[in-house]
Chain A
Amino acid sequence: MTRYVMVIDQRRCIGCHSCTVACRVWNKLPLDIIYNPVVSEGVQGTWPNVHRNWTPLLCMHCENPECVPCCPSGASQQDDDGTVWVDPKKCLSCKVCVNACPYGMRDASHMENRMHRFVRKCTFCRDKRQLDPDAQPYCVETCHQKARIFGDLDDPNSEVSKLIGSVKTDRIFTEFGTEPQIYYIPCLGGQA
């Protein structure tokens, strides 16, 4: 079996937003849709003891997603490899899934034709991987700091398995029982 996950090394991320731009360009997103924002709480601490953390986000491709069982049309679905995606042809844009996601990772664009809207979300670049099974998502390919690492958790030799097995990783909002599959290597401060 294959289980795609992403490890995000926050120690490496410099907040350049290249991954966000790459995703928007390659996935041809409307302007009000951002799949993978890189957020920060700003500079923390008092000079000269200051630091700043960046948190690159994307759909958590949850093991137990909130957004799939609630979908009445069957548009929101999960592949065997864990990828959660929406079939635009089936989606009604009822926005139940948008409200169900605890991470706010889905939305329908308000800039599209009013009678032809559907919900969009990060697909782990599913279409790209269908053409080439070894392909990496665009944000991962673009990250010059190698802060985003994509791979198969079920393969013990993959970089993600080794990292998750050896370094302490965090996940966001585990209290909802969604089993998010984006693993963060926290930055413990110290960088300006």
Chain B
Amino acid sequence: MKHHYWEPPIALYLFLGGLAGGILFLSAIFNSFVIPGYGEIFAMPVLISLVCVAIGCVFLIIDLGQPGVFWRVWTTATSIIKWGATFLVIAAVFALLYLLAYLDQAWPIFAPLSQLLLPAADFFLIVAGFFGLCIMMYTGIMLSTLKAHAFWATPALPVLFTISAISTGCAAVVLSIGGWPAQITLESLLAAALVLEILHIVDIVLVIAELIVLLTMVLSFAGAGNVTAKKAAMRWVKGSYALLFWVGMVFIGLLVPLMMYIGGGHSAASTVVAPILVLCGGCLLRFMVVNTDDRADIPGEIRYYNRVLSSNGQEFTTKWEYGKNLF
């Protein structure tokens, strides 16, 4: 392995994309099936998902080698990342329409536009939620189709990413529900409180499920089978990633929030700290998975690249400037 081909912007994009998808998915479900009629309390969560999509897209495009031609992502039929880009755009457009439908509550100047969009607001959120679900699944499926990387090429990965995306989405909704631009009424406060009660239980279930899938995936890779995946998993279980994995992801990102959710009742620990820890855990998960891009080595390959990239070689290659060896 020479270096990581995908750098931190990609991991961040996968996290933010999943987070946005999770927020839209949960908002759509609650708005349409659980407490219909209080759409304005989901305006802030939807706004947050839009910000996530925007930041994620900026990172994604900046990471490209030729950002100016990013639209070429839509020029072939077979590629899976074309689907990701499409889902992202559709979800973002419908989320924006939904947000506009409630914008007049804070800025009356938007009233004509909002009045026009309001009758269709539930529909917008359903579409955005559906494509949000697609984004969540896509982020994992995209990695799991790259079968050269044993640690990614498992059906457990899309499951893990989807659960983690919903649970981070859940945390973000908990933190933001009922916020600007919604006008606070007693009814909407009650509706928001009801949603919070339900999300509290939902997130407990999701965190437990995520813990199970994560441990199953990592420990089963560590226990058996493919040599490359085993080497990667061992790094997580007791190698250089062990501290991040056990303390960062499992303990601080999952177990601590779980205990706070269960024991914390309505304290700040359960309503503010736990969701923030869940968000941090989800972000860490994406970084660790994207960095675990081990490929099976061709015998002798590592030795070769270690020599090329040795301190001497490194100095030689980094002192070279673009255009110098062209003649």
Contact = CB atoms under 8 A, between A and B. Distances in A.
Interface string A89-118: 011111110111111100110011111111
A48 B310 CA distance: 30
B5 interface: yes
B291 to A, nearest CB: 12
Contacts of A102: 147-148, 295-296
Interface string B276-308: 000000000000000001011011110111001
- Max count, chain A CB within 10 A of own CB: residue among B1, B66, B78, B317: B66
A50 interface: no
A42 B302 CA distance: 11
Contacts of B295: 102, 104
Given A74-B75, A92-B73, A93-B65, A37 B149 contact: no
Contacts of A176: 147-148
Interface residues of A, number: 50
Nearest to A177: B147
A57 interface: yes
B124 to A, nearest CB: 27
Given A34-B308, A112-B322, A55 B300 contact: yes
Nearest to B81: A72
A100 B146 contact: yes
Contacts of A132: none
A70 B48 CA distance: 31
Categorize the interface residue count of chain B.
35 or more
A31 B293 contact: no
Interface string A43-69: 000000000000101000000001001
Interface in B170-210: none
A99 B81 contact: no
Contacts of A118: 65-66
Contacts of B1: 104
Contacts of B75: 72-74, 90
B303 A41 contact: yes
Given A42-B303, A70-B79, A99 B325 contact: no
A90 B72 CA distance: 7
A96 B79 contact: yes
Given A34-B308, A90-B72, A99-B6, A108 B325 contact: no
B243 interface: no
A60 B43 CA distance: 52
Contacts of A92: 64-66, 69-70, 72-73
B300 A73 contact: no
Contact of B78 (A39, A69, A107): A69
B123 interface: no
A57 B298 contact: yes
B66 A116 contact: yes
Given A95-B5, A117-B65, A176-B147, 7 more contacts: A39-B298, A40-B300, A70-B146, A73-B73, A90-B72, A92-B72, A111-B317
Interface of B: 1-2, 5-6, 64-70, 72-76, 78-82, 85, 145-149, 293, 295-296, 298-301, 303-305, 308, 316-317, 320-322, 325-327
